[in-house]
Amino acid sequence: MLQNEMTGGEALVRMLQAHEAGPMFGMGGFQLLPFYDAARRLGLNHNLINDERCAVFAADAYAKVSNRVGLVDATLGPGATNLVTGLVEALNAGSPMVAIIGDAHRDHAGKNMTQETDQVSILRPACKELLKIETIHRIPEIIRRAFAIATSGRPGPVVVNVPEDIAHGTYNFEPEDFEVDGTHASMPALRCRPDAEIAAKAAALIAMAKRPMMLCGGGIHLSGAQEEVTRLAESCSIPVAHTLTGKGSIACSNPLSAGLFGRYDRIANDMIAQSDCLLVVGCKLGEIATKRYTIPEGNVPVIHLDIVAEEMGRTYQPALKLWGDAKSGLSDLYGLLEITASDQRQMRQEYIAEVPRKMAAWREDVSERLTSEETPVHMARLITEINKLLPEDGYLVADGGFAAHWGGLLFDTKKAGRAFVPDRGFASIGYGLPGAMGAQLASPEAIVVGLTGDGGFNMVLGELETARRMKLGVTIIVVNNAASGYVKALQHLMYGDGAYQSSELSETNYADVANAMGCHGVRVESPDQLEAALLSAFAEKDRPSVVDVVVTRDPARMLPAVDNRTVKVKKGDRVA
């Protein structure tokens, strides 16, 4: 039976449980000790992390895979400020999250309390909203609001600031205080439709187009609109290209899939240049997607469908703005276009036949690299093996830097859905391991692979202990090039061979490191070792595996293609 008098910390736990939220990651401190005690007594799924930034990364990936609210907590001062990088990732990526942070006792605030800082001012721009709890009895109200904000509109992280005296104080709560609206336990909690008149104009533009394309971003996954993308594309014969976060909007194996567009692409950029109508959905058209604002070119009409009005026109002025939820908006467009769908398919028969033909030609062009037998292992061959061995329901979590770019370009989803999980909201490195942990918790039976560079892995090595303690059978592939690879490659392109500053790492055998930490470690030095190494890692269900793959040390070959920001672009530089 619920005891009415309880600490503020216990009220926080009960509100999280009322939302059926979890798991939660954090590192405790005095300010939130009643919260931790209640978590122990009431059975909240709370897990100690070794670095608060990794707590947010894990919660972020959990949210992206499960579509539920990620949870994290941190103590006063350095604990709270360590959340900043991960919170900005979640904010930019649209990941629903609630972060509870302890703060100073209000009777002593401003008197040089240990670890005290103006954390509210530091964290406010890193989250969708920061809520301060000033009185104990308002805890249920504030937590309800936090979940509502986190899951509505474009989802995002909400920080709840809890002073020490609020967490340690007591109040006589009533059982009905902990009633919640289950709608806000997952995203998207609420949907809105674009204006009907503008949707009709958009449908008319699409229907008349001879070479339309759909450009999909991560908003497709936030809205759960993958089926709507596929239905509209197949019904009206519209090829689909995607951003790094939009991979899986349509299955990569679908003959209408034009693959990645932007800085690195297969065939999509050329097709965009020849298109006469672009339907952009859930995509911010940022630097990478637009190849530093050079795509699309000319005056091709753009129809932009997005839940965030201010994203439309930020980098490219659309002909029509459809303000609303991607799933609802695509469903409305399908209803309007279905009447003439047969005519559209007939008109575009030759056009859509180009997509698989061009894709096959691209594969033939890069086949030597996709199946390369060279030593050290070619990145294209590594992704080819992942494509071959990762099951349809598996996940590839890609760290920032070149891990995300190689994965985004070459990894193929076998069905529509978010099987590729990159941290492109902020593109911080260090996401691969904690992100894989969060994805594994969201999908316990799936095979989850984290792809990370050695630089990113060095940042978060301590979380191997966390993954081992939690008995998570994640597979972490360390792309070992003994360098901060993206930076070294850019230095090579900008300044020439040998002009490297602070971009090289010590040669390290990460398989040995993993084995020393009680995990499963295996080193791969040649491509013929890849399959056995990956399968042995996939077989580990109760502890993490590290597959240390030795790749090229040549900075001229570290990127999938020449980066468009560099000045030394040579004719013939191609992908992979």
CATH number of the domain within which 552 lies:
3.40.50.970
Residues 287 and 313 in one domain: yes
**Pair (267, 394) in one structural domain:** no
Q: What is the pLDDT of residue 562?
A: 52
Task: Answer yes or no: pTM beyond 0.75.
Answer: yes
pLDDT one-digit tens code per residue, 171-219: 999 999 999 988 898 888 899 999 999 999 999 999 999 999 999 999 9
In which band, very low, low, confident or very high, does the pLDDT at 2 lie, cut at 50, 70 and 90?
low
Per-residue model confidence (pLDDT) at position 575: 44
3 state DSSP class of 138: helix
Tell me the C-alpha distance between 296 and 137, whole Å.
53
pLDDT of residue 107: 86
Residue 441 has pLDDT above 70, yes or no: yes
> Would you state the pLDDT for residue 308?
94
The answer to whether 524 and 451 have CB atoms below 8 angstroms apart is: no
- DSSP code per residue over 113-129: -TT---HHHHHGGGSSE
Query: What confidence score (pLDDT) does residue 401 get?
Result: 79
CATH number, domain with residue 289:
3.40.50.1220
Whole-number average pLDDT of the chain:
94
Q: Picking from 25-39, 260-274, 366-380, 479-493, which range would have the lowest pLDDT averaged per residue? A: 479-493
* pLDDT at 300 > cutoff 80: yes
- Same domain for 202 and 173? no
Same domain, 180 and 201: no
| Residue 73, SS3 per DSSP | strand
State mean pLDDT over 341-345.
97
Q: Residue 243: which domain range?
A: 196-356
* 225: Cα within 13 Å, side-chain hemisphere: 30
Q: Which of 143-152, 199-208, 354-363, 490-499 has the lowest mean pLDDT?
A: 490-499
Question: Is position 576 within any domain?
Answer: no
For residue 538, CA distances in Å to 71, 289, 454 come to 27, 33, 20
Mean pLDDT for 24-28 is 95
Q: What digits encode the pLDDT tens for the residues 118-138?
A: 999 999 999 999 999 999 999
Domain identity same for 399 and 510: yes
Instruction: Write the CA distances from 83 to 21, 99, 329, 345, integer angstroms.
Output: 19, 9, 34, 50
Confidence (pLDDT) at 438: 98
The last residue of a domain, from among 185, 220, 244:
185
Q: What is the pLDDT of residue 37?
A: 98
Average pLDDT over residues 465-472: 98
Q: What is the pLDDT of residues 279-289, one digit of tens each?
A: 999 999 999 99
